Amino acid sequence: MPSRQSFFRSSVGSKYLIAVSGLSLVGFLVLHLIGNLMVFVSPDSFNEYGEKLIRNPLLIPAELGLLALFLLHAGKAVALVLGAREARPSGYAVKKRAGHTSRKSWASTTMILSGTFLFVFVLLHLATFKYGPHYDSVTQPGTRDLYRLMVEVFTRPAWVVFYVIGMIIVGFHLWHGTSSAFQSLGVDPPGWSEKIRAISWTLALVIAVGFLSIPLWIYFGARA
């Protein structure tokens, strides 16, 4: 047990935990996106999906699990960065790219900043939708009208801009994070680096565009 604890406290073990928790959160985002895309089907379909989710007895355990993953991911990432800064307090005099095979990019060098933004974004998202106003559906008595709330929020230009920027940042965070997670887990065989980066970029693009398409669609035409 002590050796296992020391491993997960090491930089290698921390990267392993960051990778596993990060990929788990990516999986959640994919499922969350699939559910949210019900908004394009019809208001009733979207509200019905939301109601089934709320009434699911596994919702609370799932939310607690997501919270644990989120805190583990963020905590380990911050600890890893702080540890690296303590090990090299003076930093580099000049920063240069390591070449075409380097994983260093704008996305990789701003992971903590983008992660901090996403932490605030998630809190605002929960406050706006999960804990926001409760409207009863006119066509589905006893069902919360989440579609009405979404339209109410995304007819405001400031919220639309905020969400679009947020999803762009999500995309960059996932782009680097997903490919790095595979590397940390050792799922990065020789000759597959570029393929894994391409897959990570595609996945990040699909998730980001999928989510940001909803506020844009509502703002530029959809109404309750």
Q: Per residue in 59-87, pLDDT tens?
A: 999 999 999 999 999 998 888 878 766 66
Please tell me the predicted confidence (pLDDT) of residue 25.
94
**Residue 77: CATH number of its domain:** 1.20.1300.10
Query: What's the mean per-residue pLDDT of the chain?
Result: 85
Tokens of 180: 């790095």
Cβ within 8 Å of residue 204, ≥6 positions away: 170, 171, 172, 173, 174, 175, 178
95 is a domain residue: no
Q: Per residue in 109-146, pLDDT tens?
A: 677 888 889 999 999 999 999 999 999 998 888 899 99
Domain that holds residue 18: 2-88+101-219
188 is a domain residue: yes
- How many independent structural domains does the chain possess? 1
Are 42 and 147 a contacting pair, CB within 8 Å?
A: no
pTM: 0.83
Are 167 and 184 a contacting pair, CB within 8 Å?
A: no
54 is a domain residue: yes
Are 107 and 176 a contacting pair, CB within 8 Å?
A: yes
Tokens of 138: 């006119």
